[in-house]
């Protein structure tokens, strides 16, 4: 009987905890950061959000970063914005304005805007500055973009300023907290700036919690075939390799406008798979295997180019397959079908592309195949 009672109490406790977690406001802390200053403030904002147990915080980047302090942070998608009860936006100050990375992200929210997707959702802003020149202008510029969305703009007022050490310059503003990273008289963000960020997060969580479920979460209409690509890759047993390192003075990909350009050879685990000329050192099956490895390399670079989200790929525009063959060989199309089929398998209709294939008397690093790819992305 005693055992049964304990079990029942445990069950009730677990259920209550679960219900409480479900009732909490879900707040995105969405940042762009080059050197990590904005991220430092974001962590304090998140701490404040979590402090009264009425909200959970999720720090995400607007785009992938190579900075070791930021590279493991998840990248947000535009589509997910409507799933939050509030968004705290953070960015570096760029010329008295929001940063290019943040501006690029916001420019992708047009469809959300016309769909009234963020109307009534609370927003707050914070920024990392250098000297602090134009910091208030920059915060206000942030508000301009968010006001267009009809978001509820949550200011900081003079909250917490009485606690500040006023003998040094501090990044307090009535719109939101800032830090002045290049004023190195003390460590930045200063203790006071961190505290203001925490208070801003705490206050924001109260507002987000109070307004939770008062705004209709209208997302971007779900595009047919829009799926989680990680699941698709898993289902199809497709494992993307590490992005191969460039062997010279070039980059794994270049993005120009909405097009991404990629070139790869059959590099696998640091070695060329099945090297040599078809019909001399390697047979057709070996070249097909090398073609698959090459296309997987292309996809892995593509994933990096879209910040980890293959859902941002709009179309595979063109694939060009170059094979190391003898002069009289004519079955290039058969070899290249391996790459084409894999692309269609992953992207469906968006994977269908224009294609060229040809033979070459030799290919760099003695690969039996090289693939050039062009993708259109969001």
Ligand X SMILES: Cc1cc2nc3c(=O)[nH]c(=O)nc-3n(C[C@H](O)[C@H](O)[C@H](O)COP(=O)(O)O)c2cc1C
Site for ligand X in 67-86 (CB under 6 A): none
E strand intervals along the chain: 25-31, 55-61, 86-92, 122-129, 152-153, 178-180, 253-256, 259-265, 267-268, 271-272, 313-324, 354-360, 369-377
75 close to 308: Cβ distance less than 8 angstroms:
yes
Q: x/- string (CB under 6 A) for ligand X, residues 285-324?
A: ----------------------------------------
Decide if residue 38 touches ligand X (CB under 6 A).
yes
Work out which of 95, 110, 333, 354 binds ligand X, going by CB under 6 A.
95
Q: Which residue has the tokens 């099956």?
A: 285
Binding to ligand X by residue 132, rule CB under 6 A? Answer: yes
Residue 37 binds ligand X (CB under 6 A): yes
The SS3 call for residue 210 is helix
Please tell me whether residue 121 adopts helix, strand or coil conformation: coil
Angle at Cα 320 formed by Cα 318 and Cα 321, nearest 5°? 145
Q: From 46-54, 130-138, 252-260, 274-282, give the range in contact with ligand X by CB under 6 A.
A: 130-138
The answer to whether 120 contacts ligand X (rule: CB under 6 A) is: no
Among 25, 93, 306, 369, binds ligand X (CB under 6 A): 93
> Should residue 136 be labelled a site residue for ligand X when binding is judged by CB under 6 A?
no
**Shortest distance (Å) from residue 98 CB to ligand X:** 10
Task: Pick the closest to residue 45 from 16, 99, 88 (CA basis).
Answer: 88
Q: What is the Cα–Cα distance from 132 to 221, expressed in whole angstroms?
A: 40
Judged by CB under 6 A, which of 46, 181, 208, 296 binds ligand X? 181
Closest distance of CB 220 from ligand X, Å: 28
CB 261, CB 317: distance < 8 Å: no
Nearest distance from C-beta of residue 43 to ligand X, angstroms: 12
The binder of ligand X chosen from 36, 120, 219, 308 (CB under 6 A): 36
Nearer to ligand X, 27 or 129 (CB): 129
The alpha carbon of 361 is separated from its chain's Cα centroid by a whole number of angstroms, namely 41
From the centroid of its chain, how far is CA 345? 24
State the number of CA atoms in the 13 A half-sphere of 99 facing the CB. 25
Number of residues that bind ligand X (CB under 6 A): 20
Least CB distance to ligand X at residue 81 (A): 21
Tell me whether residue 120 or residue 130 sits nearer to ligand X (CB atom). 130
Q: How far is the CB of 40 from ligand X (least distance, A)?
A: 8
CA-CA distances (angstroms) from residue 83 to 56, 138, 202, 203? Answer: 13, 27, 20, 20
* CB closer to ligand X, 95 vs 280: 95
Only segment of 131-139, 290-298, 336-344, 359-367 that touches ligand X (CB under 6 A)? 131-139
Instruction: Map residue 350 onto helix, strand or coil.
Output: helix
Q: How far is the CB of 137 from ligand X (least distance, A)?
A: 8
Asked whether position 96 contacts ligand X by CB under 6 A, the answer is yes
Nearest to 29 by CA among 2, 56, 67, 1: 56
Does the footprint of ligand X cover residue 133 (CB under 6 A)? Answer: yes
Asked whether position 34 contacts ligand X by CB under 6 A, the answer is yes
Residues that bind ligand X (CB under 6 A): 33-38, 92-96, 128-135, 181
């Amino acid at each position: 009987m005693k055992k049964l009672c304990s079990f029942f109490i445990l069950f009730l406790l677990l259920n209550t905890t679960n219900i409480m977690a479900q009732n909490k406001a879900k707040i995105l802390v969405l940042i762009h950061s080059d050197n990590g200053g904005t991220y430092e403030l974001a962590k304090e904002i998140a701490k404040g959000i979590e402090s009264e147990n009425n909200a959970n915080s999720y720090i995400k980047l607007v785009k992938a970063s190579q900075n070791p302090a930021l590279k493991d942070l998840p990248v947000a998608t535009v589509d997910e914005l409507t799933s939050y009860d509030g968004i705290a936006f953070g960015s570096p100050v760029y010329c008295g304005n929001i940063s290019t990375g943040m501006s690029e992200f916001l420019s992708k929210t047009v469809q959300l805007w016309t769909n009234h997707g963020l109307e009534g959702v609370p927003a707050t802003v914070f920024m990392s500055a250098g000297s602090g020149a134009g910091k208030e202008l920059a915060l206000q510029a942030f508000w301009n973009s968010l006001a267009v969305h009809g978001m509820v703009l949550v200011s900081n007022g003079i909250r917490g300023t009485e606690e500040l050490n006023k003998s040094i310059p501090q990044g307090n503003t009535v719109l939101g907290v800032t830090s002045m990273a290049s004023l190195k008289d003390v460590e930045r963000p200063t203790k006071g700036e961190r505290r203001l960020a925490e208070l801003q997060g705490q206050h924001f969580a109260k507002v987000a919690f109070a307004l939770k479920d008062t705004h209709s979460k209208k997302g971007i209409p779900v595009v047919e075939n829009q799926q989680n690509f990680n699941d698709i890759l898993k289902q199809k047993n497709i494992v993307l390799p590490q992005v191969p390192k460039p062997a010279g003075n070039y980059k794994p990909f270049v993005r120009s406008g909405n097009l991404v350009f990629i070139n790869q050879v059959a590099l696998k685990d640091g070695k060329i798979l099945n090297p040599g000329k078809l019909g001399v050192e390697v047979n057709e099956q070996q070249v097909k295997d090398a073609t698959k490895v090459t296309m997987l390399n292309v996809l892995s670079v593509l994933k990096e180019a879209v910040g980890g989200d293959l859902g941002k790929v709009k179309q595979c525009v063109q694939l060009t397959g170059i094979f190391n063959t003898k002069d009289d060989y004519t079955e290039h199309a058969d070899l290249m079908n391996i790459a084409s089929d894999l692309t269609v398998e992953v992207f469906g209709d968006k994977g269908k592309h224009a294609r060229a294939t040809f033979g070459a008397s030799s290919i760099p690093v003695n690969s039996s195949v090289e693939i050039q790819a062009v993708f259109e992305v969001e």
